[in-house]
């Protein structure tokens, strides 16, 4: 607790978890060593599409140190459930049995005394594959004569949503149409720690350690695929070296390794290498947004129509990879007053690694599309791009506001944040011009809203948006709090401890946080969609309210005062107007837990509370009008990027960056700044460097030699500013900060590149990443 009983919120306190991690005392999946443990290695298809004729593992079984080899036909696991009736059933199994649909698909698994022996033996497994024609892109998948990835489907669409809106049709009959098509290419989250699983089956109970963002979801899926009751499964997430949504998927290896532990009676470990990660862990983005805008005479948009077309890869992923496309549709209007939209979704399967989640989850793709289209409208109508945005931006008096997709925006600083970002961007540009007057420099801006704490029902068919907290006092006045969210480097322990200390008027060092263990933490859905502060905060606030109430009654009894005359401050209960009388939490806890004879008559012992919380106002399915408010609240942000372009080589260098952000009430400014900086760095990677190309189904970037990640050298100075517009309906007034940093860079950088190249040629940037070859192509195309 801060000195003088002041709020802990807004204090830039060091994170509680950092000392242990920086000192090398972190414990990750790869650090786990159990007695008798063996290692697994997977045999993966080198062919993107084929029928499986047979798997010969005799040579591998006789290899030194090998304990077992299993093919898909020999592994007795149920298919992963298809829980969503609104999408086609995939019925994928953890080890392929009849057909492979992407290069990297697991076909068999080898278990040996160590990883090296397992890898050697895996190379001896002879797989007989009968190649089939490949489907290389989403456009190819839509062709009438395209090969079918799933023979019982009549096309290659996992999901197709085709809404109708007469008001949109009327707008296009009245106004001018300006169109564009915008592509965000395939990339990977690439966390520092790849995936890993350790499993042990002992005393008829399965324990699984896995690098995941959602331990309870993993437990449920293991129960359904392995046929064990959930109570007989314990899932633990050790330290997680980055998740970014990619570890919010449930992967084949997370089923196979526990099955092996049950089958062999020995602990089994599998640790992913980087090649496996780039070919078998969920890919991201790979979306094209085709948009038409009905444009009024002043350039403002009366309606949007179009299509979001995503390349899902093989579609063999849970949760399925169509979710970002739904979020993209809901994010297209951003903070603009665009009254109507009608956008269909086509999610096609192809012979690539399955698409999954990645930080931003559709919002970067939508923001790139609408911001590029707004710039195009300004260019074609000879309008100032900044002033055009100002004409459409939400004003404070517009709030609360429902967007054309159904999002209910109840607070924010949309215009103020945008104006500030533009001001910073122009200043940065002038400073760079003074520093390098002959360079091709440009500044671009982007503004958007981000839905936080979203419902999971539309992408899982099972879970909605709830979470829990378990807060209990020890007899010495210390507190242990268990929460259902997960830690993956984002400072969750510090955040939860701060909220508990704030609510109970305790010092931070009196709070211990437990998470990531289905045996010791209460039920929760994990950490994704920037949800942790809202859902954990809501549950913590309810539990703390119950504890304050009981603590007040106990203290009033001990003080011989009426409960309504007792207040809590600085770790103690006091009678108002009697400064010399107080009962600290230690005395209250000891009374509740040990000296129970001192409790008020009829009060049961104990000082603990378990509560659940689900944000109000969320839609878990579309309303009758097709609209949907799928998130608890909406963060807003505006970004500005200054770039230098080398016209000869096509190289784009991001020189300066600014993010003006509003996530409601800030709990810890250091944590928020860290989230924004990390997100911007990843967004720069997506905008300029990172790409996972394929040719005839074969991945062309399978190591960091080909998959280009930005380093500290490529990340510029990042200025961050916080506007604080507390959310009126969320606990503590918080929103979310985990994903906002990554949403703006592709749009802002694309606009900056266009401006930088304007003296040479009028280029139209419609795709990212802006690699040197892409930029050179834009210049040559414009000149020709």
- Residue 85: the pLDDT is 86
Whole-number pLDDT of residue 202: 96
How many CB atoms are located within 10 Å of the residue 356 CB?
Answer: 28
Task: Give the mean pLDDT of the chain.
Answer: 96
Does residue 294 fall inside a structural domain? Answer: yes
Give the tens place of pLDDT for each residue, 733-767. Answer: 999 999 989 999 999 999 999 999 999 988 999 99
Can you tell me the distance from the alpha carbon of 200 to that of 181, in angstroms, rounded to the nearest whole number? 50
- Together in a domain, 70 and 198: yes
> Are 593 and 675 part of one and the same domain?
no
Q: Are the C-beta atoms of 142 and 346 separated by less than 8 Å?
A: yes
Give the H or E element holding residue 263.
Answer: helix 252-264
Residue 516 lies in domain: 3-25+466-613
Are both 751 and 632 inside the same structural domain? yes
- What residues contact 393, with CB distance under 8 A and at least 6 apart? 335, 336, 337, 414, 415, 418, 447
From 250, 280, 310, the end of a domain falls on 280
Top-confidence residue, 233 or 581: 233
> Within this chain, do residues 623 and 679 fall inside the same structural domain, yes or no?
yes
Per-residue pLDDT for 581 more than 90? no
Residue 152 lies in a domain: no
Residue 6 has pLDDT above 70, yes or no: no
Q: Is residue 181 part of a domain?
A: no
Domain boundary among 222, 253, 280: 280
Same domain for 125 and 110? yes
pLDDT digits (tens, 9 = 90+) for 680-732: 999 999 999 999 999 999 999 999 999 999 999 999 999 999 999 999 999 99
Give the pTM.
0.96
Percentage of the chain lying above the pLDDT 70 cut: 99
For the stretch 591-610, pLDDT in tens is 999 999 999 999 999 999 99
User: In this structure, what CATH number is given to the domain that contains residue 272?
Assistant: 3.90.1170.50
Residues 252 and 307 in one domain: no
CATH of the domain at 637: 3.30.365.10
- Output the pLDDT for position 396: 96
- Whole-angstrom distance, CA of residue 311 vs CA of residue 755: 30
Based on the domain organization, do 596 and 686 belong to the same domain? no
Alpha carbon 359 to its chain centroid, in Å, reads 4
Share of the chain above pLDDT 90, in %: 96
pLDDT of residue 5: 56
Q: Which residue has the tokens 């010791």?
A: 520
When divided into structural domains, the chain yields a total of 3
Q: Give a yes or no: residue 625 inside a domain.
A: yes
**Is 48 inside any structural domain?**
yes
In the listed set 613, 639, 670, which residue is the last one of a domain according to the structure?
613
Q: Is the pLDDT of residue 2 over 60?
A: no
Structure confidence by residue, pLDDT tens digits, 261-282: 999 999 999 999 999 999 999 9
Domain contains 333? yes
- On whether both 606 and 561 belong to a single domain, the answer is yes
> Same domain, yes or no, for 312 and 379?
yes
Same domain? For 101 and 198 the reply is yes
Least confident interval from 81-85, 121-125, 491-495, 540-544: 81-85
Residue 170 lies in a domain: no
In a domain, 175, yes or no: no
- pLDDT at res. 298: 97
pLDDT tens by residue, 638-676: 999 999 999 999 999 999 999 999 999 999 999 999 999
pLDDT digits (tens, 9 = 90+) for 180-217: 999 999 999 999 999 999 999 999 999 999 999 999 99
Confidence of residue 3 (pLDDT cuts 50, 70, 90): very low
Same domain for 219 and 265, yes or no, is yes
Nearest to 72 by CA among 102, 99, 39: 99
Tell me, yes or no, whether 642 and 714 share the same domain: yes
């Amino acid at each position: 607790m801060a000195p003088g009983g002041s709020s802990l919120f807004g204090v830039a306190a060091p994170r509680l978890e950092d000392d242990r991690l920086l000192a090398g005392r972190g414990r990750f999946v790869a650090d786990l060593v159990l007695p008798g443990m063996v290692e697994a290695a997977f045999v993966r298809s080198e062919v993107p599409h084929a029928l499986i004729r047979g798997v010969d593992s005799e040579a591998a079984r006789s290899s030194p140190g090998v304990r077992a080899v299993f093919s898909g036909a020999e592994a007795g696991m149920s298919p992963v459930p298809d829980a969503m009736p609104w999408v086609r059933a995939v019925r994928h199994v953890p080890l392929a049995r009849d057909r492979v649909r992407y290069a990297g698909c697991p076909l068999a698994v080898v278990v040996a005394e160590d990883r090296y022996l397992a890898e050697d033996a895996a190379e001896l497994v002879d797989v007989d594959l009968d190649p089939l024609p490949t489907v290389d892109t989403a456009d190819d998948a839509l062709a009438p004569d395209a090969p079918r990835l799933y023979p019982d489907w009549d096309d290659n669409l996992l999901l197709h949503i085709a809404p109708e809106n007469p008001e949109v049709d009327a707008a296009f009959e009245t106004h001018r149409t300006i169109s564009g098509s915008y592509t965000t290419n395939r990339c990977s989250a690439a966390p520092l720690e790849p995936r890993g699983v350790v499993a042990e089956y002992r005393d008829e109970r399965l324990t699984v350690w896995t690098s995941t963002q959602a331990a309870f979801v993993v437990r449920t899926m293991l129960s359904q695929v392995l046929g064990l009751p959930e109570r007989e499964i314990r899932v633990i997430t050790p330290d997680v070296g980055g998740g970014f949504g990619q570890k919010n998927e449930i992967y084949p290896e997370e089923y196979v390794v526990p099955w092996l532990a049950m089958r062999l009676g020995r602990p089994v470990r599998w640790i992913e290498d980087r090649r496996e990660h780039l070919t078998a862990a969920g890919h991201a983005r790979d979306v094209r947004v085709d948009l038409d805008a009905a444009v009024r005479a002043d350039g403002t948009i009366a309606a949007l129509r179009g299509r979001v077309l995503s390349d899902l890869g093989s579609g063999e992923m849970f949760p399925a990879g169509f979710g970002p496309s739904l979020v993209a549709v809901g994010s297209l209007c951003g903070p603009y007053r665009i009254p109507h939209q009608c956008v269909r979704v086509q999610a096609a399967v192809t012979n690539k690694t399955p698409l999954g989640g990645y930080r931003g989850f559709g919002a970067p793709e939508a923001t790139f599309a609408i911001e590029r289209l707004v710039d195009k409208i300004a260019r074609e109508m000879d309008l100032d791009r900044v002033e055009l945005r100002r004409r459409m931006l939400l004003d404070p008096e517009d709030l609360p506001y429902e967007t054309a997709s159904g999002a209910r925006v109840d607070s924010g600083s949309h215009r103020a944040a945008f104006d500030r970002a533009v001001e910073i961007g122009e200043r940065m540009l002038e400073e760079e011009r003074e520093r390098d007057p002959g360079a091709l420099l440009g500044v671009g801006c982007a503004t958007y809203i981000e839905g936080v704490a979203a419902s999971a029902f539309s992408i899982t068919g099972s879970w909605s948006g709830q979470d829990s907290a378990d807060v209990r006092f020890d007899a010495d006045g210390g507190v242990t709090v268990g929460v259902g969210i997960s830690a993956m480097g984002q400072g969750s322990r510090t955040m939860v401890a701060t909220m508990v200390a704030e609510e109970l008027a305790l010092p931070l060092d009196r709070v211990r946080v437990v998470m990531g263990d289905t045996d010791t933490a209460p039920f929760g859905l994990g950490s994704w969609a920037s949800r942790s502060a809202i859902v954990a905060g809501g549950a913590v606030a309810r539990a703390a309210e119950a504890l304050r109430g009981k603590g007040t009654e106990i203290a009033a009894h001990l003080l011989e005062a009426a409960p309504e005359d007792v207040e809590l401050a600085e770790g103690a209960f006091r009678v108002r107007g009697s400064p010399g009388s107080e009962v600290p939490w230690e005395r209250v806890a000891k009374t509740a837990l040990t000296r129970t004879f001192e409790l008020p008559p009829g009060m049961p012992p104990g000082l603990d509370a378990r509560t659940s919380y689900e944000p109000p106002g969320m839609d878990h399915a579309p309303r009758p009008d097709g609209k949907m408010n799928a998130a608890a609240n909406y963060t807003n942000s505006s970004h500005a990027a200054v770039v230098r372009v080398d016209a000869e080589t096509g190289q784009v260098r991001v020189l300066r960056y600014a993010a003006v952000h509003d996530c409601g009430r800030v709990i810890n400014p250091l944590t928020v700044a860290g989230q924004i900086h990390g997100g911007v760095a990843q967004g720069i990677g997506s905008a300029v460097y990172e790409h996972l190309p394929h040719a005839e189904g074969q991945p062309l970037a399978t190591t960091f030699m080909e998959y280009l990640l930005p380093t500290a050298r490529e990340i510029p100075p990042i200025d961050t500013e916080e506007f604080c517009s507390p959310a009126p309906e969320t606990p503590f007034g918080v929103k979310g900060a985990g994903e906002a940093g990554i949403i703006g860079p592709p749009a802002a950088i694309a606009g900056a590149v266009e401006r930088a190249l304007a003296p040479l040629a009028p280029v139209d940037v419609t795709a990212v990443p802006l690699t040197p070859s892409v930029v050179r192509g834009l210049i040559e195309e414009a000149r020709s």
